[in-house]
A = this chain, B = another copy of it.
Amino acid sequence: MAILKGNAVVGQSGGPTAAINATLAGVIRGALDAKNQGTIDTLYGMKNGIEGFLAEKLVDLTKFFADENDIATLELTPAAALGSCRKKMKSPEDDPETYETIFKIFKKYNIRYFFYIGGNDSMDTVMKLSKYASDHDYEMRVIGVPKTVDNDLMVTDHTPGFGSAAKYVAVSMKEILRDVSVYTTKAVTIVEIMGRDAGWLTAASGLTRLSGGISPDLIYLPEVSFDPEEFLASITEIQKDHPAVLVAVSEGIKFEDGRYVGEGLGGRKIDAFGHVALSGAGKVLEELVKERIGCKVRSIELNLPQRCAAHLASLTDVNESVGVGRAAVEAGVCGKTGVMMTINRVKSDDYSVYYDSADISGIANGVKGVPTEYINSDGNGITDECVKYLAPLILGEVQPVYENGLPKHIVI
What residues on B are CB-neighbors of A51 within 8 Å?
184
CB of A120 closer than 8 Å to a CB of B: no
Q: A207-B404, A402-B397, A409-B212 are in contact. Are A308 and B171 (CB under 8 A)?
A: no
> A307, B405: Cβ atoms under 8 Å?
no
Contact B183 A83 (CB under 8 A): yes
A288 at interface by CB-CB < 8 Å:
no
Provide the residues of chain B in CB contact with A16, threshold 8 Å: 178-179, 182
Encoded as 1 (CB less than 8 Å from any B CB) or 0, chain A from 282 to 310 comes to: 00000000000000001011111101111
Docked complex Cα distance between A273 and B127 (Å):
60
Closest residue of B by beta carbon distance from A175: B308
| Candidates B183, B302, B309; contact of A175 at CB < 8 Å | B309
Instruction: Report A362 CB to chain B, min CB distance, Å.
Output: 28
Q: How many chain copies does the complex carry?
A: 2
Q: Is A377 an interface residue (CB 8 A)?
A: no
Report yes or no: A311 in contact with B171, Cβ–Cβ below 8 A.
yes
CA distance A172 to B308 in the complex (A): 8
A183-B48, A208-B406 are known contacts. Are A311 and B314 too (CB-CB below 8 A)?
A: no
Known: A174-B407, A212-B411, A409-B212. A179 touches B395 (CB 8 A): no
A350 within 8 A of B: no
Any chain B CB within 8 A of the CB of A80? yes
A181 proximity list for chain B (CB < 8 A): 79, 83
Which residues on the B side are within 8 Å of A311 (C-beta)? 171, 175, 312
* Contact assessment for B77 and A211 in the assembled complex, using a CB-CB cutoff below 8 Å: no
**Given A85-B183, A171-B311, A300-B303, A207 contacting B176 (CB threshold 8 A):** no
Interface string of A1-45 (1 = CB under 8 A from B): 000000000001000100000000000000000000000000000
Who on chain B is nearest to A21 by CB?
A: B178
B404-A395 in contact (CB<8A): yes
CB of A403 closer than 8 Å to a CB of B: yes
Interface of A is mostly: mixed
With A83-B183, A311-B312, A405-B207 as known contacts, state yes or no: A175 contacts B78, CB within 8 Å. Answer: yes
A406–B207 CB distance below 8 A:
yes
The closest CB in chain B to the CB of A316 belongs to: B405
- Asked whether A406 lies within 8 Å of B171 as measured between CB atoms, the reply is yes
Please state if A83 and B184 are interface contacts (CB–CB under 8 Å). yes
Cβ-defined contact, B211 with A404, below 8 A: yes
Q: Is the CB of B84 within 8 A of A211?
A: no
Evaluate contact between B314 and A182: CB separation under 8 angstroms: no
| Contact (Cβ within 8 A) A174 B309 | no
Chain B residue at minimum C-beta to C-beta distance from A393: B405
Is A408 part of the binding interface, using a Cβ–Cβ cutoff of 8 Å? yes
Q: Beyond A179-B79, A182-B80, A184-B51, is A405–B305 a contact (Cβ under 8 Å)? A: no
A115, B210: Cα distance in complex, Å? 34
Q: Chain B residues near A86 (CB, 8 Å)?
A: 183
Q: Is the CB of B176 within 8 A of A304?
A: yes
30 inter-chain pairs at a CB distance below 8 angstroms, sorted by A residue, are: A52-B184, A78-B179, A79-B181, A83-B181, A83-B182, A84-B182, A86-B183, A170-B405, A171-B405, A171-B407, A172-B309, A174-B409, A175-B305, A175-B308, A175-B311, A176-B304, A178-B409, A179-B308, A208-B406, A210-B403, A212-B409, A212-B411, A298-B304, A300-B303, A300-B304, A300-B305, A301-B301, A311-B312, A312-B312, A395-B404
Query: Known pairs A16-B182, A175-B305. 4 more at Cβ < 8 A?
Result: A48-B182, A167-B405, A171-B405, A300-B301
User: A interface vs B, CB < 8 Å?
Assistant: 12, 16, 48, 51-52, 77-80, 83-86, 167, 170-172, 174-176, 178-184, 189, 207-208, 210-212, 298, 300-305, 307-312, 314, 391, 394-397, 402-409, 411
